Amino acid sequence: MTAIQSIKGRRVWDSRGNPTVEVDVVLENGVMGRAIAPAGASRGQREAIDLRDGGSALRGKGVERALASVNGPIASALAGLPVSDQVGADRAILGLDPSPMKENLGGNATVATSLAVLHAAAADAQKPLWRHVADHYGFSPSLPLPEIQIFGGGAHAGRRVDIQDFMIMVPGASSFDEVMEVTNEVYFAAGDIMASRGKLAGIADEGGWWPAFDSNEEALETLVAAIEKAGEKPGERVVISLDVAASEFGENGKYRLALEDREMDSAALIEMLGGWLDAYPIASIEDPVGEDDVEGMVEFTRRFGERVQIIGDDYLVTNAKLVREAAADGACNAVLVKVNQAGTVSESIDTYNAARSAGWGAVVSARSGETEDVSISHLSTGLGGGQLKVGSFQRSERMVKWNECLRIQDELGAGTFVGGAPMAATWWGKQHG
Ligand code: PGA
Ligand code: ZN
């Protein structure tokens, strides 16, 4: 039983150049754990608050108030607690701020601290983080199936296209390494096609190509062309995954696709997406309707839940209670797990467990504002049987997560890649059995 001796928060900077919170947890034996809070741009309304200072300095994005939470009440409450008791540490944090969205301490303060405690416990047990997570929570570790962004859109690319993430997955790969190789070919094929057509405007927030398409569907057509140019047959080894992030362009069942100057209600949006599911090899779709559109999500899941993975991100905000309610409603069949949406490791694990009990898939995810922190590579491996969403195949804050998985692959053995297993219940799984 090694006790936490001290906790120190400091200001560091994320991939968008914004300030963020880093926390060091030092144990009585000198062992240390460290983690950094990420930050979203297309945030769910019900997720833990990213506490910022406001005012004019640093465009209002300062984190002095969040750091004061870490260095003041959180440090005092956690000192002396056994580091191996993650639930106890997280409860102590929650005891300081019972508000549902952690608006008093700040979710950025709580998530960096909670993850740093987890890192310190792993270091104290002399285990890599993925092994500690698996042992501590009783999971069988396995490398996740990545979903990797090819084009960025929505809030990550000046809303140049309405749909936020155009991604691929390689469920037909037999190793994590093979996923990286295939994705690399598709990513650069996409860039070449866009450049040759005059459609390449730069790099979006998560490292994907920033497109200059004239319609959302042009992105899908280009993605299929890129998969083919890379020598793959779309829908075989490689499939498409979308994050519609519909809350970003609609509420109360009214949606507006700015790129195409089209207004639609929930039924029309579902119809349009259903048409895409028929026309393109899409195996997974996230937030197809807005976070407040329960009827729309139930209807979408009723119609397409047998053939596609339907992930709730803004819709579920890594909240176990919302997962249980959605499962009872028949909305979604998978959850996105973002530790900073929940605010602590324990609440994120509860959400993961709620999803698994419902027979759902689970995708551990980065945020659009990221850093060198690789906690999620370990978390997704330690939880086992899952998927990992990190952004694209460029920029170090993304590559550091994929590269960490390759190191874990060396420790774990290549045979522990889950591959198509998370897709088993979908169209892809049915075709490839
Ligand atoms: P965010 O987007 O990190 O900007 O919120 C990521 C996502 O929607 O999955
Ligand atoms: Zn999302």
The SS3 of residue 163 is coil
Q: pLDDT tier at 400 (50, 70, 90 boundaries)?
A: very high
Q: Please list the active-site residues.
A: 206, 338
Whole-number Å distance between alpha carbons of 166 and 220: 8
pLDDT tens-place string over residues 18-50? 999 999 999 999 999 999 999 999 999 999 999
Going from the Cα of 262 to the center of ligand 1, the distance in angstroms, rounded, reads: 24
Contact 181, 418 (CB under 8 A): no
- Hey, whose CA ends up nearest to atom 6 of ligand 1? 367
**What does the chain come to in residues?**
433
* Shortest-distance ligand to the CA of residue 40: 1
Alpha carbon of 391 to those of 203, 318, 380: distances in Å?
12, 18, 15
Alpha carbon of 37 to those of 102, 120, 315, 425: distances in Å?
14, 16, 21, 33
Q: Which residues line ligand 1 (CB under 6 A)?
A: 40-43, 155, 164, 243, 245, 313, 365, 367-368
In a mutational test of the pocket of ligand 1, which residue from 149, 241, 313, 397 has the highest number of ligand atoms less than 8 Å from its CB?
A: 313
pLDDT tens-place string over residues 323-362? 999 999 999 999 999 999 999 999 999 999 999 999 999 9
In a mutational test of the pocket of ligand 1, which residue from 149, 365, 371 has the highest number of ligand atoms less than 8 Å from its CB?
A: 365
* Shortest-distance ligand to the CA of residue 16: 1
Residue 414 has pLDDT above 80, yes or no: no
pLDDT tens-place string over residues 290-330? 999 999 999 999 999 999 999 999 999 999 999 999 999 99
The encoded tokens of residue 350 equal: 């509860």
E strand map for 28-122: 32-36
Ligand 1 atom closest to Cα of 287? 8
- Average pLDDT (85-100) is 97
Place of tokens 């002095």: 64
Which residues, at least 6 apart from 248, have a Cβ–Cβ distance to it below 8 Å? 42, 154, 155, 159, 162, 164
pLDDT tens-place string over residues 227-236? 999 999 999 9
Alpha carbon of 324 to those of 29, 227, 328, 333, 410: distances in Å?
41, 37, 6, 11, 36
Amino acid letter, 341: Q
Burial class (CB in 10 A: 0-12, 13-18, 19+), 322: buried
Q: pLDDT tier at 433 (50, 70, 90 boundaries)?
A: confident
The average confidence (pLDDT) of the chain is 97
- Which residues lie at CB < 5 A from ion ligand 2? 243, 245, 286, 313
Going from the Cα of 6 to the center of ligand 2, the distance in angstroms, rounded, reads: 35
Whole-number Å distance between alpha carbons of 295 and 252: 10
Contact 110, 79 (CB under 8 A): no
Contact 10, 308 (CB under 8 A): no
Residue 70 has pLDDT above 90, yes or no: yes
The encoded tokens of residue 334 equal: 């998978």
Residue among 365, 410, 405 at smallest CA distance from 389: 365
* Shortest-distance ligand to the CA of residue 367: 1
- What are the two backbone dihedrals, phi and then psi, of residue 215, each rounded to the nearest 5 degrees? -150, 160
Going from the Cα of 314 to the center of ligand 2, the distance in angstroms, rounded, reads: 6
